[in-house]
Structure 1
Amino acid sequence: MDHSKALRELNIMQQTYATLFSVTNKLQMHGDQYLGQLTSRQYMILIAIAHLPEDETTLTNIATKLGTSKQSANKLIINLENKGYITTIPSKRDKRSINVKITETGKLVMLECGEKAVTLMADIFNDFSTKEVETLWSLLNKLYSFDGDELNGFEEDVNYKFDEMEGYEEAQMRALDRYILRRYRSAHDEIMEGKTTME
């Protein structure tokens, strides 16, 4: 292989690696501003717990789900427990482990932050087509698997019955309406302008 081609390729890889750090930090800062009651990292801890089977919500499994260290996950769990959003209980499977459970207060906070997260998604992916978002997700999954570990994502159903909570459906509809308005605002504006012109 030509040295100049290899050097260019390596430079692009280095720029991509550095950019991932900047993007992650920027997304986290903006997420913190949008979510309000929780930081992005705290919200993702709750999301990870909700996507694990109830008897498998150990510190190790939560950290693995988020691709972080047990120490980092533990700090966030302690903080969330102090706020009353989660509780820890002894594991039925392993007496040396604990399982983490989201409290009713934690579920309410998740619901509120979930509504705000929809707005965040619409705004940060504003300039992406659906196809581009799908491609990005696929590429990030591929990048995560560079060492042979597959990403254990969030595609499966949550183990908490949020749809049974009072006000859940209304909150979901509000969030979707807000998402549609923000995501497709240019199309919405064009329709509204067309109506105004026709009138």
Structure 2
Amino acid sequence: MNVEQIIKTERRLPLKTRTMIHLALVSNKINERFTMALKPFEISQQQFNVMRILRGQKGTPANLSTINERMVTKMSNTTRLVDKLITKGYVERQVCESNRRKVEILITEKGKTILQKLDEIMEDTENKILNDFSQKELEILNTLLDKF
């Protein structure tokens, strides 16, 4: 059953229920597109998000708590995400000199380089996903989504 068939079937449901189903379907479709765009690089959306957070630190280290607070998808396995990125050489972990119990994480030059490539791919994916929307429609959609 494709999306159109599901929506047609769901028309018998209350509007709020249909809306929630539609939002879930759209969310899943967007996630699938981003996952496929990142797949050749063996990077998950969450790992991509961690790298963007670290790049946004502009050379200032971040701890796991800071990364987790800024994640698009809140999760408890931030340590595992960082460990995978360390293995790939995209980030590094250091012990804080002033507080030996504190672990600091930085993006590496290799991480910055791959992130630049990923930025282009993700922007292209965003453009493909939103291609059928006008600027005005995107503004309206964002205004509506801001109500959440």
The partner residue of 1:84 within 89, 93, 98 is 89
Give unpaired runs (5+ residues) of structure 2: 1-12
Taking only the aligned residue pairs, the percentage that are identical comes to: 26
The partner residue of 2:129 within 124, 128, 141 is 124
The partner residue of 1:17 within 17, 20, 29 is 20
| Distance (Å, rounded) in 1 between the aligned partners of 2:69 and 2:134 | 30
TM-score normalised by structure 2 residue count: 0.73
| Distance (Å, rounded) in 2 between the aligned partners of 1:62 and 1:81 | 15
| Distance (Å, rounded) in 2 between the aligned partners of 1:141 and 1:96 | 39
| Distance (Å, rounded) in 1 between the aligned partners of 2:23 and 2:17 | 10
Residue 68 (str. 1) matches residue 73 (str. 2):
yes
Residue 106 (str. 1) matches residue 111 (str. 2):
yes
Deviation string, structure 1 residues 59-99 (Cα, Å, up to 9, x no partner): 22222212433423332222111111111123467654322
Residue 43 (str. 1) matches residue 48 (str. 2):
yes
Superposed displacement of residue 104, structure 1: 0.9
Q: Which structure has the larger Rg over C-alpha atoms?
A: 1
Matched position secondary structure for 2:66: helix
Matched position secondary structure for 2:147: helix
Deviation string, structure 1 residues 28-76 (Cα, Å, up to 9, x no partner): 2211222321232221221122234654622222222124334233322
Superposed displacement of residue 127, structure 1: 0.8
| Distance (Å, rounded) in 2 between the aligned partners of 1:73 and 1:122 | 29
Length, aligned pairs only: 134
Give unpaired runs (5+ residues) of structure 1: 1-9, 144-199
CA RMSD of aligned residues (A): 2.6
Matched position secondary structure for 1:71: coil
| Distance (Å, rounded) in 1 between the aligned partners of 2:83 and 2:24 | 26
Superposed displacement of residue 108, structure 1: 1.0
The partner residue of 1:135 within 133, 140, 144 is 140
1:4 aligns with: none
Change (3 A) 1:32 1:67: closer
TM-score normalised by structure 1 residue count: 0.56
| Distance (Å, rounded) in 2 between the aligned partners of 1:130 and 1:77 | 36
Matched position secondary structure for 1:62: helix
